[in-house]
Structure 1
Amino acid sequence: MIKLVKITALFAVISTLTACSGHIENKSKNCGYDYLLHPAISISRIIGGCGPADESK
Structure 2
Amino acid sequence: MIKLVKFTALLAVISTLTACSGHIENKSKNCGYDYLLHPAISISRIIGGCGPADESK
TM-score by length of 2: 0.70
Q: Per-residue deviation at 1:18?
A: 4.5
* Structure 1 unmatched runs, 5+: none
Aligned residue for 2:18, secondary structure, equals: helix
TM-score by length of 1: 0.70
The answer (yes or no) to whether the contact 1:24–1:54 under 8 Å persists in 2 is yes
Q: Which residue of 1 aligns with 2:7?
A: 7
The answer (yes or no) to whether the contact 1:17–1:37 under 8 Å persists in 2 is no
Q: Per-residue deviation at 1:17?
A: 3.7
1:41 to 1:8, Cα distance in 2 relative to 1, 3 A: closer
* Structure 2 unmatched runs, 5+: none
Moved over 6 A (4+): 1-12
Distance across 2 between alignment mates of 1:47 and 1:39: 12
Q: For residues 12-57 of structure 1, what are the alpha-carbon distances to aligned partners after superposition, in whole Å with 9 as ceiling and x for unaligned?
A: 9457645500000000000000000000000000000000000000
1:17 to 1:7, Cα distance in 2 relative to 1, 3 A: same
Structural RMSD (CA): 3.1
Total equivalences in the alignment? 57
Identical counterparts, % of pairs: 96
